[in-house]
Structure 1
Amino acid sequence: MRPESKSRCLIVCVLLLGVATLRSTAAAETDSPPLNFVVLLVDDLGFMDIGANNPNCFYETPNIDRFSDSAMRFTNGYAANPVCSPTRFSLMTGRYPTRAQATNFFSGKREGTFRPAPLNDKMPLEEVTIAEVLKPKGYQTFFAGKWHLGPDPNFYPPAQGFDVNMGGYHRGGPYTGKKYFSPFQNPELKPDSPPGDHLPDRLARETAAFIKQNADQPFLAYLAFYSVHTPLMGRPDLVKKYQAKAVEIEGEEFADEEQVFGDRPRKVRILQKHAVYAAMVEAMDQAVGKVLDQIDAAGIADHTVVVLTSDNGGLSTSEGSPTSNLPLRGGKGWVYEGGIREPWIIRYPGVTQPGSVSDEPICSIDLLPTIAAAVDATLPPSIDGINLAPALRGNSLDRDALFWHYPHYSNQGGFPGGAIRMGNYKLVERYEDGRIHLYDLSKDVGEKQDLAESMPAKAEQMRHRLHDWYQDVNAQFLREKNGNQPWVPSE
């Protein structure tokens, strides 16, 4: 055979091999099962409350830590608001809660020096949720736990795209029956458990059962724990364990916190040592492990996206002040980092690298657009979040800023205020008088060094950007009280 004939033959063989490979790959992609989605939302869990974020954590979270080792952990993950209902709204819709005037827990109306901004105490039915995005794609949808997004059954999970609802209604905590222990007397958790059952375990069992039953079809399982929200109640065996452990912990437990309203000096916890809270965290972690184990047992881990996060920072300044968020400042109810920076761990098979870490700023508004992109679903209008796929692959995100708006007096003592983060800089604006503070989070995560006076140009640039955002989302502000006029944003 001539050399040129051999060459042509070799080229033809290579081309045929390439075509065969493409066909094989296309067939594999066609035959690959659709993605499932499991969302694990923990109530009031602080950024520093898990071992994956805090090697010196007093609480033991081996299952979450194991999950982190198999996933991507975000060090700059945020909630859209420092309290629960607004963040839950943002996770469900991909939108800033300010757009719907859903800016406080439903329905918190505490007054301070001024009256709070008007509050919508429900997620409007016209909002498109994650479940409603996935239903047209053939997904079975399940919700368990805390809903807190509407006042009556007309606004409960079944009205927003969920096929199954186990325990989601208007209450913001387990306040009926024996609370965290059965009988729960939760009208949406039927049948009730036998005496002695523990709520986080019951919710995990229900979620695991749904996963097992639907392992052969695409599903969304959304488990929103009531844990570790008050009332502070732990399993006796775990409380005893942490009481013994706490004896070995020395140091001051509390420090002074800034006084916003009221005449009782406010303290902030600076040392993790609360045995009951620790018991609640570990019981929640065990429940997380039960769900993760079921994913493995069903043989679907290779096509199941799992997300774990929280709805606001750890409770550190009131209602028992059970946890410390240090080095982060403040906690639940505050627009400081302790109130809005959250655990964020995402495992996306074939995309995230096990044990990887990202410092890209992300937020609860990003969950819906990320899931929608994963299944090639059409996004609802006016989405504020972005698809996190680039960050999940280890790259940067194309976003200039994140925003917060909390025009209320929190139960935890926080001040009404807003914030913007651009790069490493964060600007905080107080709504009572319009004062601003500027921090470089890369050097000062505790927000102690105010740079507003030393960097006036930067502070003014960010203030203008924040005020533009106020207009875009139709932000509402504090209202007059006793003839006193509150500050309003102006250029």
Structure 2
Amino acid sequence: MVWATVLLASGSVSAGEERQLFNVVLFVIDDLGQRDLGCYGSTFYRTPHIDRLAREGIRFTDFYAVCPVCSPTRVSILTGQYPQRWNITDWIPGRKDQPDQRLQRPSIRTELPLEAVTIAEVLKRRGYVTAHIGKWHLGGKGFGPKEQGFDINVAGDETGTPRSYFAPFRNKGGVMPGLEEAPEGEYLTDRLAAEAVRFISAHKDRPFFLYLPHYAVHTPLRAPAERIRRYPNQPRPGTQSNPVYAAMVESMDDAVGQVLQALADYRLADKTVVLFTSDNGGLATREGGPTGATYNGPLRAGKGFLYEGGVRVPLIIRWPGRGKPGTTCAEVACSNDLFDTILDAAGGRQPPDPPTDGRSLFPLLDGKPLSERAIYWHYPHYANQGSRPGGAIRRGRYKLVEDYETGRHELYDLSRDLSEEKNLATEQPDLVRQLASELEKWRQQVDARMPRPNPQYRPHPPDANGTITLPARTALIHGQQWRFEPLPHQESLGHWVQTGDSASWDFTAIQPGRFRLELVYGCHSNAAGASVEVSLDSWRQQHTLQATAGTHDYQPHVVGELKVDQPGRHTLTLKLVRPPSRPLVELRSIVLRPVKDGGR
């Protein structure tokens, strides 16, 4: 193998230090939750190869994707810059606006522009052979991996999901590049591993950069039947128990193991820096099936949300000769940092390397702390998973989340409240103002585009029978602790602990009329007796909560009748008057059923 040492004049290592150029292998797994790995606490999924990688390297506990969905995070990994600078803030091409949205999303670019300098382009200039094997999702013809510095591209195109998880790897839209020939029934994850091993074998005698962004474990959930049978077919809400997803995780882990074994077989393990991460948190909503694809607890929510379950992801770095194997690092870092970290493996930062928003994590491997800095999120979109436009900032132990629809802020102390249970915004208003101001200044610096009022806004029109349904996911929260619980077995308004918390819903009446109002909720017996007030214009009615068979046993409860005097948009408000002794209540929806003259 052709190896060299370089005299570093800049970068995170000391000036004048000689250091070997390393190969780099970067795994990016699609939709993998941080807690989906054994080394991060999972007892259901089987990930022995990744767990071994963690034992041999450094595992980061507070590492973040800069977006809760895929394409923007991939931009940050490849460029080292916040994706807002390139106006890629959603998965490409993004979810279209819908009439029930209060805000209209800003338009986004549908490809990473060619003027963006990728890590592959920088490494190629330094003599590396570069390969992209897996998911691209940053543009189609003319904007693919080969136009962005990769010598080899296998499977990467404009699609965000595989054309097929089983061969033939094609659909009506075309065939996956480089996979035109494949034995019938071959599994995509296995094939990508084989392609990676083939690349390593062919280029073992020169420096290489292998970027391996697997399509797994993204939906549709598909895995070989023999692997699915290894797991009990008893998925349970609020747990890691989906057998198909488990089989996908195991297959992905096997694929990682094949690549690591190839490095060992060709005696490259001590000459190769290996990085393992994912592009966003695990998919925990109904989009992943009746019980969700996975469960991210104790992290809140999942993919699509700015809470920890949506953005806190794994990072493992195995760097030969650096760091104590099997240790953890609690430094707050993000996907922007991978660019400069990889540069350090390839000789450090050198002109004319592009500016980045990240910094190398190399010093952390030797236990040297980095100065505190903030990291930011800006997601001005309505996600398929049910979240709404918002932004966030983490500085030190505190994280602020901003709702773009209402301007409401949530503040969490992650050192004490990893699950983001207690909103501290009213207790620390000065800190809220400070962090909100910093977040706004950052948005201006990166030219982040904001959503605007939707001129076609038409919320919750009646169905064919005249019934108006107001689901929990569309509620505007006006208090401190109420929150939308997005998991499939909940999809409810929960955390009933604060007197005066309220939520409101806009709806559209086609014509005047009388309605019977029902609250659909689940209430544990220990929470019965609490009370809420429902109001619409001058109409007000209190309701005492009644016990159901359990918190998730959602039953309709009639509150009373109200009259809508005129067609058009109206706003209904629900307020917590007396909290329950224990917060074991979840509201699934509010239903307005038309009352016909002369009867119900």
Is the TM value for this pair above 0.5? yes
Note if 1:273 corresponds to 2:241.
yes
The answer as to whether partners of 2:390 and 2:402 remain within 8 angstroms in 1 is: yes
Which residue pairs with 1:40 in the alignment? Answer: 27
Whether the aligned pair in 2 keeps the contact of 1:129 and 1:161 (CA below 8 Å) is yes
**Given the alignment, which residue of 459, 464, 478 partners 2:432?**
459
SS of 1:155 mapped into structure 2: coil
Tell me if the contact between 1:133 and 1:377 (Cα under 8 Å) persists in the aligned partners. Answer: no
| Match in the other structure for 1:350 | 321
Deviation at 1:137, TM superposition (A): 0.9
SS in 2 for 1:154: coil
Deviation at 1:191, TM superposition (A): 3.7
Structure 2: 5+ residue runs without aligned partners?
1-16, 458-600
Distance 1:355 1:366 in 2: 21
Q: Report the alpha carbon displacement of residue 146 of structure 1 after superposing the two structures with TM.
A: 0.2
5 Å-filtered alignment, 1:431-470, equals 431-470=404-443
Higher relative contact order (CA 8 A, sep 6+): 1
Residue aligned with 1:92, SS:
helix
* Higher helix proportion: 1
Name 1:266's counterpart in structure 2.
none
Q: 1:132 is matched with which residue?
A: 121
Is this contact kept in 1: 2:169–2:179, CA < 8 A? Answer: no
Match of 2:356 among 377, 383, 386: 383
Structure 2 counterparts to residues 230-249 of structure 1, below 5 A: 230-243=219-232, 246-247=233-234
CA distance in 1, matches of 2:135, 2:456: 39
Map of 2:147 onto structure 1: 159
What residue number does 1:53 align with?
40
Alpha-carbon distance, 1:205 to partner: 0.7
C-alpha displacement at 1:118, in angstroms?
Answer: 1.8
- What is the aligned partner in structure 2 of residue 146 from structure 1? 135
Partner of 2:301: 330
Amino acid at match of 2:304: G
> Match for 1:67 among 29, 36, 53?
53
* One-letter identity of the residue aligned with 1:158: K
Deviation at 1:483, TM superposition (A): 6.8
Alpha-carbon distance in structure 1 between the residues aligned to 2:408 and 2:135: 36
Show the counterpart of 1:286: 254
Alignment of 1:159-198 (within 5 A): 159-175=147-163, 179-185=164-170, 186-198=175-187
Give 5+ residue unaligned stretches, structure 1. Answer: 1-28, 255-269, 485-491
Give the letter for the 1:240 counterpart: R
Instruction: Tell me how many residue pairs correspond in the alignment.
Output: 431
Percent identity, aligned pairs only? 47
Structure 2 matches for 1:252-271, cutoff 5 A?
253-254=236-237, 270-271=238-239
Which residue of structure 2 aligns with residue 404 of structure 1? 377
TM-score by length of structure 2 reads 0.70
Deviation track 1:384-427 (CA, whole Å, cap 9, x = no partner) reads: 01011121222212241000000000011112111000001000
Match of 1:3 in 2: none
1:121 deviates by: 1.2
Partner of 1:79: 65
**1:238 Cα deviation after fit:** 1.1
RMSD: 1.7
- Deviation at 1:479? 1.7
> Aligned-pair distance for 1:196?
1.6
Q: TM-score, normalised by structure 1?
A: 0.85
Structure 1 residue 464 displacement after superposition: 0.9
Name which one, 1 or 2, has greater alpha-carbon Rg. 2
Mean Cα displacement is larger for which, 273-282 or 313-322?
A: 313-322
SS in 1 for 2:184: coil
> Residue 364 of structure 1: which of 325, 328, 335 is its match?
335
- Aligned twin of 1:305: 273
Letter in 2 for 1:180: Y
* Alignment partner, residue 373 of structure 1: 344
Distance 1:463 1:482 in 2: 27
Task: Please give the per-residue CA displacement for 1:224-283, whole angstroms capped at 9, x wherever unaligned.
Answer: 10000001111101111113xx55x8xxx43xxxxxxxxxxxxxxx21110100010000
Question: 1:110 touches 1:410 (CA, 8 Å); kept in 2?
Answer: no
Which structure shows the bigger proportion of residues in strand conformation? 2
Q: Equivalent residue for 1:261?
A: none
SS of 1:316's equivalent in the other structure is coil
Query: AA paired with 1:325?
Result: N
3-state SS, counterpart of residue 77 of structure 1: strand
C-alpha contact 2:372 2:396 (8 A) present in aligned 1: no
Local SS of the residue matching 1:426: strand
